A and B are shown apart, each in its own frame.
Chain A
Amino acid sequence: MAATNKEFRKRSARPPRVVWLPALVVALAMLMPLAYLVIRSLDSGWVEFFETVLDGGTLAVLANSIVLAAIVTSAAVAIAVPLAWLTARTDLPGRKTWAILAALPLVIPSYVGGFVLVSTLGPRGSLQGALEPLGVERLPEIYGLPGAAFALVLFTYPYVFLTTRAALRGLDPALEYASRSLGRGSWPTFFSVTLPQLRPAIVAGALLVALYTLADFGVVSLLQYDSFSRAIYLQYRSAFDRTPAAILALMLVALTAVILIIEARTRGRARYFQTSGAVRTPRPTPLGKWKIPALAFCGGIVSLGLFIPAGILVFWLVRGVSSGEPLRIVWGAAWSSVSVSAMAAAAALAALPVAILAVRFPGRASGLVERLTYVGYALPGIVLALAFVFFGANYAPWAYQTTGILVLAYVIHFLPQAVGATRSALLQIRPSVEEAAQSLGRSPLNVIATITAPLAQRGIFAGAALVFLTTMKELPATLLLSPIGFTTLATSVWNATSEAFFARAAAPALLLIIVCAVPMYFLVIREREK
């Protein structure tokens, strides 16, 4: 039987050192980019600071960004939750394959995805070309808000999909069975029993989507949406002025703080965990006559987010190769990408103490530590990279432009992805198991290593996978902070697209997608063993 424990017990115990010390180190590391921004912002004094903050144009683009983030986040949730349920809980044919495919749009770098989208769905793009015989002269404009929102939803919904699906699989179905046996239909059961239990996971994913949208530059610039992150990049790119850029970035941090407060409210205070030791594998819900629409839904999303972009890349590759372009497969770059991404994923285990602190020892301080980890994620890559350039070159020249500082930058950038996933998994574990072990004399470290981590492994792995996948496509920090001469798949793609060599960009971009499919595959395969 499962139980819902709605009232969280007040803990008198202080968190053990093995939890709070690493969590504190993580929090301090997160303060680094913030410190940089404050230093830069005040370069030209308070007057300029307030002039920039209160500028009408600045506030207008800030509003644009908020609108975009709200639309993208709601649409991503609306797509991802049904997708997660279909692939985790129903008899959808090929649902494991769908699960891998549906997560993959995440690995398509937004600068590639946006570009492909424009060349396909642009007013005179390839789709129009295909429709021309039917008399279609021009497609409606995709530039601006609709196009930017569309592209961002397609490339970010996997955040919600992955966290929600992980939660669904870790969910004890006993409560649902109880609801069904008491006569409730499948829909009321889903909405009143399943959905509330999924809320922490959905909110964790939605938060990542919202913050990603705020910080993304690739899509908004290609689809010409006047967003806040674009304003920040413009300062660097055309004005060579770091002060206004830093001030704008600080405003983004402030906006993030507001979003985190909203998130804390939506997260809900309810706690759900299983009482029985083993999670039962739920019976898949038969789809019946809904099978075809469900397949069409999955197929549509995966086509837009993965097949079409990948197909266009293949088309560019073939067109290039057939006109004499040599096919260059960059194995070296692929290996570099995989090795730094794996290091970042391993280092992202630093999320565990933060998540334990937040879940098991809720309070002001632990909440602050957890939320601080989102600072690095909410900042556009270039801002974070320059913070590390500043600190690295001036205070740690021995580490500057080494793999070490690069991985540190990745972790600070992407850690919240792991924190969110780990946190959702911890919420499903009943603390009494840990308490029992502790009362039997095990040390806190021993409890974490032998009980908490193994029980939360699904969330930990999902978090590490997210960090891995996003590191694979990371660009600005890689360009500025990597050891000199270091090339990854992402830098190879960038290198080619910056000069419009589509054919040359296609090969590394496709390799990037294929390499990322491997960890996704294992993530899904692992589930079968359980």
Chain B
Amino acid sequence: MRSIKLLMAMAMLVALAAFTAACGGTEEGGGGNGGRGDGGNGASEESAMEESMAEESGMEEEAASSGEAESLTVYSGRSAELIGPVIDQFIEESGMEVQVRYGDTAELAATILEEGENSPADIYFAQDAGALGAVAQEDLLTELPEEVLSPVEDRFNSPDGEWVGISGRARVVSYNTEALTEEELPDSILDFTDPEWEGRIGWAPTNGSLQAFVTALRITEGEDGAREWLEGIQANNPTVYEDNTTTLEATAAGEVDVGFVNHYYLFRALDEQGEGFGARNYYPRDGDVGALINVAGAGILQTSDNVEEAEQFLGYMVGEDAQQYFADETFEYPLVEGVETSDELVPLSEIETPEIDLSNLDDLEGTLELMEETGVL
């Protein structure tokens, strides 16, 4: 009993000393080394691999300054579930080492802004154009070369060439198949302000895609038109959800009759929950802003030491293989012509999209103000 106590006390003091050292930062790399050593002792191969990767990322920076590195660091706001496989494909074909930090698109944007000059990232891969715009605005992205930009239609790229669109998603209206048929849905998203939709709409005002849609609305319908629409929807007492997923789930469950979402969530739900899923997508027929196509895209950081490799990465993402992957696996729209899309997807060419310059979707601040003023947020 006594020896146990003694042992415990000793362990405690060691930990205390280590903590003090780590806090004081007097002993260079003390905290980090201790941590790695501890983790590396583990039996799991995967974890050991991760640890060694961490070690290499530290060394890579030194190597990078001497211009020899072939390792890319990607900050990705798109999840590993979505783009992990296509990045693996790239690694296999290029032989390059790629490390990815996954996170929330906006949080990673904030991280890049905080890191400033010292960002370890080479590439910022964002879920939406607005976040890329915010980072580009701070002059943190380099101009991309023509061969990266040209495969993608201009309307899906940054006009200044600071980021390239990689995959697209359509805004759709999801509807509960028990409550409604497609014929009963209005031609335009603007018509959902009609009182007949009172209490039947679900949406996610805090979601980036919906906000991008409202920004687009401000461009096509003008500030007043957008305000009118927001007020009209608000007057119909829409149910507010956290995001596209919960909105779609609620539509399928009949909590609401229609929901404003992105197109691909339906296909994932069908994949997981089967054909019996209670909701389907509807693309407003009018060719107005209701069928906006927004993009996920990427740019290269000014601070990158591996610009050439980073360009190669982006080139791969807009190449045929990667584009085919997005079409087949994530049910998104490929942005490069000549890629076959799955039958389940309404072809991009058949969706009458509004004529909008996506780079203008970076005025989120104005959109947020409008949404706050109308009581939506």
A: residues with CB less than 8 A from B are 21-22, 25-26, 28-29, 57, 115, 118-119, 122-125, 143, 221-222, 224, 234, 236-242, 319-320, 323, 325, 331-333, 335-336, 339-340, 343, 346-347, 349-350, 352-353, 382, 385-386, 389-390, 393-394, 396-408, 411, 445, 448-450, 453-454, 457, 476, 479-480, 483-487, 491, 495-504
Contacts and interface: CB of A to CB of B under 8 A. Distances in A.
A449 B32 contact: no
A139 to B, nearest CB: 10
Nearest to B44: A335
Nearest to B240: A224
Interface stretch (B115-123, B291-299, B305-313, B350-358): B115-123
Given A221-B206, A237-B206, A500 B273 contact: no
Residue of A404, A411, A445 ringed by the most chain B CB atoms within 10 A: A404
Nearest to B41: A339
Contact of B372 (A57, A224, A449): A57
B142 interface: no
Contacts of A485: 50, 53-54, 57, 99-101
A240 B35 contact: no
B345 interface: no
Given A236-B107, A349-B15, A405-B31, A339 B39 contact: yes
A353 B16 contact: yes
A484 B100 contact: yes
**Which of B208, B272, B368 is most buried by chain A, counting CB atoms within 10 A of its CB?**
B272
- Nearest 3 CB-CB pairings of A with B: A404-B31, A332-B46, A403-B35
A320 B272 contact: yes
Interface string B76-101: 00011110000000000000000111
Given A124-B253, A403-B36, A483-B51, 6 more contacts: A238-B208, A346-B11, A347-B22, A403-B35, A449-B10, A485-B57
B181 interface: no
A346 B8 contact: no
Nearest to B130: A240
Interface string B195-237: 0000000000010100100000000000000000000000000
Contacts of B80: 495
21 contacts: A118-B246, A237-B208, A240-B109, A319-B272, A320-B272, A332-B44, A347-B18, A390-B114, A396-B25, A401-B54, A403-B39, A404-B33, A404-B35, A407-B35, A449-B12, A476-B107, A485-B53, A486-B50, A495-B79, A499-B81, A500-B248
B42 A401 contact: no
A325 B272 CA distance: 8
Contacts of A411: 19
Contacts of A29: 23
B150 interface: no
Contact of B242 (A125, A222, A394, A480): A222
A484 B269 contact: no
Given A122-B255, A331-B44, A393-B118, A449 B272 contact: no
Contacts of A386: 110-111, 114
A352 B80 CA distance: 40
Contact of A483 (B25, B29, B50, B79): B50
A193 B203 CA distance: 54
B23 to A, nearest CB: 5
Interface in B258-292: 265, 268-269, 271-274
A389 B246 contact: no
Contacts of B211: 238
A443 B32 CA distance: 32
A339 B46 contact: no
Contact of B102 (A26, A239, A479): A479
Nearest to A316: B272
A323 B272 contact: yes
Contacts of A332: 44-47, 50
A422 B103 CA distance: 35
A125 B31 contact: no
B8 A239 contact: no
A406 B107 CA distance: 17
A484 B54 contact: yes
B186 interface: no
B28 interface: yes
A288 to B, nearest CB: 37
B34 interface: yes
A25 B20 contact: yes
Given A122-B250, A222-B246, A393-B114, A238 B364 contact: yes
B86 to A, nearest CB: 14
A242 B79 contact: no
A239 B6 contact: no
A39 to B, nearest CB: 11
Nearest to B131: A240
A479 B103 contact: yes
Nearest to A115: B246
Contact of B115 (A236, A320, A389): A389
B321 interface: no
Nearest to A125: B253
B99 A484 contact: yes
B113 interface: yes
A361 B230 CA distance: 59
A349 B12 contact: yes
A12 B366 CA distance: 61
Contacts of B51: 483
Contact of A335 (B25, B47, B101, B248): B47
Most chain B Cβ neighbours within 10 Å, of A28, A221, A407: A407
B6 A450 contact: yes
A179 B54 CA distance: 61
Given A57-B372, A402-B32, A347 B15 contact: yes
A336 B253 CA distance: 37
A239 B273 CA distance: 35
Nearest to B108: A480
Given A339-B42, A343-B35, A123 B255 contact: yes
A340 B240 CA distance: 37
B23 A404 contact: no
A405 B32 contact: yes
B16 A236 contact: no
B339 interface: no
B365 interface: yes
B82 to A, nearest CB: 6
Nearest to B54: A483
Contact of B106 (A57, A238, A340, A343): A238
B21 to A, nearest CB: 10
B42 A335 contact: yes
A483 B9 CA distance: 31
